[in-house]
């Protein structure tokens, strides 16, 4: 995990000040006999089927403080919940090791105890990123979207070694860096915080993340901090100049985080060059706008599988007097539409409607008396254009 190298430095950060709509004072909620501290805003105005925004903090001594600058902004357009994990802040410990699965299951129990039904848009900062991804894997039907705020990555040990080689950090250098961090564990405030630190620096590389189930088809926004830090946590182990190290790290991390965005069709990655790790403090409006984008995204279109004989019926060339021409081909049971010099996959919503992912366009199928495809009618941007099948 690349971000875990310096994640412990976040624990002492406290955020002051808030803007936007007022939120309720933190309160305690009983969850299976254990008190959990929560802060909410806008729940009283929640519509039955509208998503609730749920915040999952990173490695913090006080989880609620991660969101002080942001809650008011988001509460202006959605109900929100923030909370302290077990043993963090003022929440009571549960005596369990905080694996991502356990954290996700605890969060679900909290939401049920609060009588806040799904769907949820989960917002995870730093270590909260792996936690919300786990929730999406365990309870995909409850998730309406994810927003990652400079998330920790969960690389395998092999990927971590590849990163170290790119940064010029030897195995011995990495061992010394990790040992120096572990020496600080006894000074952490309680057993729950120490347990999270132990999990972050697990040398096995969080093996459960290497086999997570596929993401549900929901919108995802990834925000990546890229502000230059001349003294990063692992600076002592590197063999490159600070600016060169920064460029290497940003390139590596951008490629890794792009994988999170690429898990779904409606995924975006935003690199924030002026922000540090706590993007929600440096630019709360940017984070709020990412959450709004996920909330307002159109529901993803679901395609169906058609028999090869039906797919073959769409293959051909199509022409319009006013809008040129295109062709449809079939390769390995996948339709493609050739628009000029660009080919894009074509999907079926039904036997009479085709669509292109990522573009607000669909093709309605019209057939001749024999049932063969006679024309495809393009509907896009409020316009309707008929393309006759010519061969």
pLDDT at 8 over 60: no
Q: Is the domain of 225 the same as that of 338?
A: no
pLDDT at 129 over 90: yes
What pLDDT does residue 240 have?
77
Q: What percent of the chain has pLDDT over 90?
A: 63
Q: Is the domain of 141 the same as that of 210?
A: yes
Q: Is the domain of 312 the same as that of 193?
A: no
Query: Which tens digits make up the pLDDT trace of 198-213?
Result: 988 876 767 777 788 8
Structural domains in the chain (count): 2
Read off the pTM: 0.74
What pLDDT does residue 303 have?
85
Better-predicted residue by pLDDT, 81 or 340: 81
Confidence class for position 16, pLDDT limits 50, 70, 90: very low
pLDDT at 278 over 80: yes
* Domain termination site, one of 296, 321, 354: 296
Residue 303 lies in a domain: no
pLDDT at 337 over 60: yes
Q: Is the domain of 248 the same as that of 371?
A: no
Q: Is the domain of 146 the same as that of 250?
A: yes
Residue 29 lies in a domain: yes
Phi-psi region of 43 (alpha: psi -120 to 50; beta: other; left: phi over 0): alpha
The range of the structural domain enclosing residue 366 comes to 308-389
What pLDDT does residue 177 have?
86
Q: Is the domain of 318 the same as that of 211?
A: no
pLDDT at 220 over 80: yes
Q: Is the domain of 291 the same as that of 314?
A: no
Query: Distance between CA atoms of 156 and 205, rounded to whole angstroms?
Result: 5
Q: Is the domain of 116 the same as that of 188?
A: yes
State mean pLDDT over 182-211.
85
Query: Distance between CA atoms of 374 and 376, rounded to whole angstroms?
Result: 7
Q: Is the domain of 273 the same as that of 334?
A: no
Residue 301 lies in a domain: no
What pLDDT does residue 297 have?
87
What pLDDT does residue 23 have?
63
* Domain termination site, one of 296, 318, 340: 296
Average model confidence (pLDDT) across the chain = 87
Confidence class for position 359, pLDDT limits 50, 70, 90: low
Helices (H), the chain: 71-75, 100-113, 128-138, 157-167, 171-182, 191-200, 242-261, 279-282, 284-296, 308-312
């Amino acid at each position: 995990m690349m971000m875990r190298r310096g994640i412990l430095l976040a624990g002492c950060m406290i955020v002051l000040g808030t803007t936007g709509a007022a939120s309720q004072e933190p309160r305690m909620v009983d969850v299976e006999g254990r008190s959990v501290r929560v802060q909410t805003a806008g729940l009283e105005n929640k519509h039955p089927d509208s998503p609730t925004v749920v915040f999952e903090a990173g490695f913090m001594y006080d989880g609620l403080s991660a969101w002080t600058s942001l809650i008011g902004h988001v509460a202006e357009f959605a109900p929100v919940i923030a909370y302290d994990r077990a043993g963090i802040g003022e929440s009571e410990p549960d005596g369990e090791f905080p694996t991502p699965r356990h954290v996700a299951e605890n969060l679900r129990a909290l939401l049920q105890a609060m009588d806040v039904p799904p769907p949820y848009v989960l917002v995870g900062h730093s270590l909260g990123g792996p936690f919300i991804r786990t929730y999406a894997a365990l309870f995909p039907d409850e998730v309406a979207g994810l927003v990652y705020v400079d998330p920790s990555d969960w690389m395998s040990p092999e990927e971590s070694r590849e990163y170290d080689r790119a940064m010029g950090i030897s195995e011995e250098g990495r061992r010394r860096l990790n040992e120096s961090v572990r020496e600080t564990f006894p000074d952490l405030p309680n057993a729950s915080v120490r347990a999270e630190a132990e999990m972050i620096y697990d040398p096995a590389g969080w093996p459960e993340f290497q086999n997570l189930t596929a993401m549900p088809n929901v919108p995802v926004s990834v925000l990546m901090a890229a502000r230059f830090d001349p003294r990063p946590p692992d600076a002592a182990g590197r063999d490159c100049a600070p600016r060169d190290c920064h460029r290497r790290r940003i390139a590596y991390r951008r490629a890794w985080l792009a994988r999170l965005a690429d898990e779904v069709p409606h995924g975006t990655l935003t690199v924030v060059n002026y922000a540090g790790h706590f993007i929600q403090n440096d630019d709360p409006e940017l984070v709020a706008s990412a959450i709004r984008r996920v909330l307002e995204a159109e529901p993803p279109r679901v395609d169906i599988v058609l028999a090869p004989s039906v797919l073959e019926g769409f293959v051909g060339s199509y022409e319009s007097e006013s809008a040129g021409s295109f062709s449809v081909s079939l390769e390995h049971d996948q339709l493609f539409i050739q628009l000029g010099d660009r080919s894009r996959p074509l999907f079926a919503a039904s036997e009479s409607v085709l669509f292109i992912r990522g573009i607000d366009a669909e093709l309605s199928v019209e057939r001749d008396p024999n049932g063969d495809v006679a024309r495809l009618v393009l509907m896009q941007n409020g316009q309707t254009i008929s393309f006759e099948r010519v061969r």
